[in-house]
Structure 1
Amino acid sequence: MLHEFSRTELLIGAEGLEKLAQSKVAVFGIGGVGTFVVEGLVRSGVGKFVLVDDDCICLTNINRQLHATRKTVGKPKVEVMRDRILEINPKAEVTVFQEFYMPDTAAGLIADDYTYIVDAIDTVTAKLDLIIQAKSRNIPVISSMGAGNKLDPTQFEVADIFSTSVCPLAKVMRQELRKRGVASLKVIYSREQPRKPVETESSSCSVGCVCPQGTTRKCTTRRQIPGSIAFVPSVAGLIIAGEVVKDIINKQSE
């Protein structure tokens, strides 16, 4: 009998589909990249999710984040994304944490039964700790480098962090991971030179912050807000979803 994943089954077979259904993927950061990671995974048949993000949807998220609409502004990102997952696949299991991942919150947010971890966080300290935690638990992890201030989605590449270039975030991550003895890390990064944001009174978050009530980390506290556009972080997120799916279905049964 045909079902919602019949077309996927034609491509990867019943065994591949079953592997995905039994997998638990944790996505840290449910924003421009993370929402499209989740979308790609749930529509591919991944059956279990853990979503981690402390933020609420802001008006300025509408230009690029999948869950952001006029109706969802002000709502917790993880809750809106959970509801979207269940609208696509009511059988999915979804755990949400409306928390900001940092070293002191890691213990409650990472579990050994995760099949895969996706790092779509935008804070270096958090990214580094999440990667170290994943490596120490032997959980496969993929990390998103900078998608802000970019305009060309065709310049994304999947590579080991130590083979990356151009991306300023990747440079910092290479340096810090070497210090911590990390030998390899799968990442997605862009070879496009980042553009300088054109900041005016109408585009400056520091001048006209519209963060919704209850926001714990307002944009006015951040050093720089990158420019963004719909078709760049979304592409990065879908590429990550593809890597996760391929890794899961190609993994030999233990």
Structure 2
Amino acid sequence: MNDEQLLRYSRHIMLPQMDIDGQEKLLAAHVLVVGLGGLGSPVVQYLAASGVGQLTLVDDDLVELSNLQRQPLHSSADVGKSKVQSALESVAALNPDVHVNALQARADDEWFREQLSADNIDLVIDCTDNAAVRYALNRVCLHTGVPWISAAAVGVSGQITLFNPADNDSPCYACLYPQLSDDQLSCAESGVLSPLVGVMGSMQALEALKWLAGSGRSLNQTLLTFDALASDWRRWAIKKRPQCPACGSVSGSAAQAGND
């Protein structure tokens, strides 16, 4: 780490839970971010600002005016650009330490297999509102063993969890949601309170930094839900679902009662 980096990341380095070792782990990490909208905006901004060394960013959409209410990664000048190009420019302005692979594509099973098999990705962050993409990511992560963080923000409610296929006790996405449609995920259908996606995306970034630095307790086997109007967080224990067609779990139940 050079002198400029020591200064840039000094507030991390001062933390005993992070220090130089943790920051160096961030600088060496490679994270795939799927979706560059409301959740992806704070995720990309905080990971880049925090010095995560390599980001692969994927989205197939263009920036639209209706995005700007909740997607601060993009500006009015970016309307009509691809979201990956807008994100690439934003990260370059924020932190030149970060290497960005910007890919305009619709992720599916084949795409995920290619990326997760070849690119030595340490963590995937799911910032999509597309059920098919999430189920594809779940299948490929189960096969490759790559951990991933998933969040959602619709209306005034949010949720977040981490799936770790390397942990035999960790449920998969299909354990939690055997059948889910895009209508249940899309803010285009239901609307969304703009700071809510910022809260949930920031939580994804926080969980990613903890995981990559090896600090704190992860959300593996835990679902956090947030009611924005009540400012109420709840924590739920989640377990493998018997007969899950994706991970073949034979123990536990789909969800347990909240404990706070």
Same structural fold, with TM-score higher than 0.5 when normalized by the shorter chain: yes
Residue 104 of structure 1: how far off its partner (Å): 4.1
Name 2:45's counterpart in structure 1. Answer: 39
User: Of residues 19, 24, 46 in structure 2, which corresponds to 1:18?
Assistant: 24
Name 1:142's counterpart in structure 2. Answer: 149
Q: Residues of 2 paired with 1:68 and 1:138: CA distance?
A: 32
1:106-127, Cα deviation, whole Å (9 max, x unpaired): 3444345001001112111110
Residue type at the aligned position of 1:46: V
Q: CA 1:78–1:224 in 2, change beyond 3 Å: closer, same or farther?
A: closer
Name 1:76's counterpart in structure 2. Answer: 82
User: Of residues 89, 95, 113 in structure 2, which corresponds to 1:89?
Assistant: 95
Conserved? CA contact 1:97–1:109, under 8 Å: no
Q: CA 1:157–1:16 in 2, change beyond 3 Å: closer, same or farther?
A: same
Residue type at the aligned position of 2:11: R
Conserved? CA contact 1:124–1:173, under 8 Å: no
Could you say what the CA RMSD is over the residues aligned between the two structures, in angstroms?
2.7
User: Of residues 179, 194, 197 in structure 2, which corresponds to 1:230?
Assistant: 194
- Percent identity over the alignment is 28
Residue 140 of structure 1: how far off its partner (Å): 1.2
Matched, 1:127 2:134: yes
Residue 171 of structure 1: how far off its partner (Å): 9.1
Unpaired segments ≥5 residues, structure 1: 162-169, 178-193, 195-221
Residue type at the aligned position of 1:103: D
Q: CA 1:112–1:138 in 2, change beyond 3 Å: closer, same or farther?
A: farther
1:174-229, Cα deviation, whole Å (9 max, x unpaired): 2249xxxxxxxxxxxxxxxx9xxxxxxxxxxxxxxxxxxxxxxxxxxx99623023
Matched, 1:248 2:212: yes
Give 3-state SS (helix, strand or coil) of 2:195's partner: coil
Residue type at the aligned position of 2:19: G
Q: CA 1:82–1:223 in 2, change beyond 3 Å: closer, same or farther?
A: closer
Conserved? CA contact 1:56–1:76, under 8 Å: yes
Q: CA 1:125–1:241 in 2, change beyond 3 Å: closer, same or farther?
A: same
Conserved? CA contact 1:50–1:95, under 8 Å: yes
Q: Residues of 2 paired with 1:171 and 1:107: CA distance?
A: 18
Q: Residues of 2 paired with 1:157 and 1:79: CA distance?
A: 27
Unpaired segments ≥5 residues, structure 2: 165-172, 216-260
Matched, 1:118 2:122: no
Residue 233 of structure 1: how far off its partner (Å): 0.6
Residue 231 of structure 1: how far off its partner (Å): 0.3
TM-score (norm 1): 0.69
Residue 45 of structure 1: how far off its partner (Å): 1.6
TM-score (norm 2): 0.68
Q: Name whichever structure is richer in strand by fraction.
A: 2
Residue 16 of structure 1: how far off its partner (Å): 0.4
Q: CA 1:70–1:15 in 2, change beyond 3 Å: closer, same or farther?
A: same
Matched, 1:174 2:174: no
Q: Residues of 2 paired with 1:223 and 1:20: CA distance?
A: 32
Q: CA 1:224–1:39 in 2, change beyond 3 Å: closer, same or farther?
A: closer
Q: CA 1:176–1:136 in 2, change beyond 3 Å: closer, same or farther?
A: farther
Q: CA 1:70–1:21 in 2, change beyond 3 Å: closer, same or farther?
A: same
Give 3-state SS (helix, strand or coil) of 1:95's partner: strand
Matched, 1:6 2:13: no
Q: Residues of 2 paired with 1:88 and 1:96: CA distance?
A: 16
Conserved? CA contact 1:43–1:88, under 8 Å: yes
Give 3-state SS (helix, strand or coil) of 1:118's partner: strand
Name 2:234's counterpart in structure 1. Answer: none
1:31-57, Cα deviation, whole Å (9 max, x unpaired): 000111111111222110000000010
Q: How many residues align?
A: 196
